[in-house]
Amino acid sequence: MKLKSLFDKAKKTVDERGGVQSLKEDAEELKALASGKGGLSDKAKGAAAAIKEPGAPGATQGEGHGKDTP
């Protein structure tokens, strides 16, 4: 019974944040921040700011940072 409750709570949280696609966008944004330039504290601040808003609204601004672009 507790497992079902945990599953329902996780599903509710994902739905509140915009669904599975939004969750994937959040993960990609955090991945980009983690692999980008800067110190650990800068990355932590960026990650904290990024997860406050569901989806990846800042992804277009942060794309290319820390990644090799042709």
In a domain, 39, yes or no: yes
Average pLDDT over residues 11-21: 89
Is 70 inside a domain boundary? no
For residue 54, the model assigns a pLDDT of 75
Average of pLDDT values for 29-35? 91
**Is 31 inside a domain boundary?**
yes
Average pLDDT, rounded, for the chain: 79
Answer whether residue 57 is part of any domain: no
Buried b (16+ CB within 10 A) or exposed e, 18-35: eeeebbebbeebbebbee
Q: Is residue 37 part of a domain?
A: yes
Domain span at residue 38 reads 21-51
If pLDDT is split at 50, 70 and 90, which confidence band does 56 have?
low
Assigned domain for 58 exists: no
Give the model confidence (pLDDT) of 33-53 as tens digits: 999 889 999 999 989 988 887
Tell me if 14 is assigned to some domain. no
* Residue 60, in any domain of the structure: no
Total domains present in the chain: 1
